[in-house]
Amino acid sequence: GNSVTQMEGPVTLSEEAFLTINCTYTATGYPSLFWYVQYPGEGLQLLLKATKADDKGSNKGFEATYRKETTSFHLEKGSVQVSDSAVYFCALSGTGGGNKLTFGTGTQLKVEL
């Protein structure tokens, strides 16, 4: 079946540091890949997505590239801010039809001044 593995947290960075959160997946066919972000006490919000190999999703300074050869979708940001503190989830969506999401376990990011 489908699975997503992402780096464990918590990750603590200083403001303006470079961020990488690793995500790899296992799936048959060509899944769509997503990063969702969860701020404290809130639901998940879509951060970015990529729907085919070599696509780059980007939003709010965050980027991730769909790498089929390494089955990866690593999240990066060049300069993090305190407001980026949240939990980040990597997810993939159904190669077998439908829109069922398979999530990683989440990575908590804390950015300090």
- Give the interface with another protein as residue ranges (CB under 8 A): 4, 31-32, 34, 36, 41-46, 49, 51, 89, 93-95, 97-101, 103-106
Residue 85, burial from CB neighbour count under 10 angstroms (0-12, 13-18, 19+)? middle
Least distance (Å) between residue 22 CB and another protein:
15
Least distance (Å) between residue 113 CB and another protein:
28
Question: Do residues 1 and 99 make contact, with C-beta atoms less than 8 angstroms apart?
Answer: no
Which CB atom, from 67 or from 94, has the smaller least distance to another protein? 94
Question: Do residues 56 and 64 make contact, with C-beta atoms less than 8 angstroms apart?
Answer: yes
Least distance (Å) between residue 97 CB and another protein:
8
Which CB atom, from 5 or from 85, has the smaller least distance to another protein? 5
- The C-alpha atoms of residue 33 and residue 41 are separated, in whole angstroms, by 24
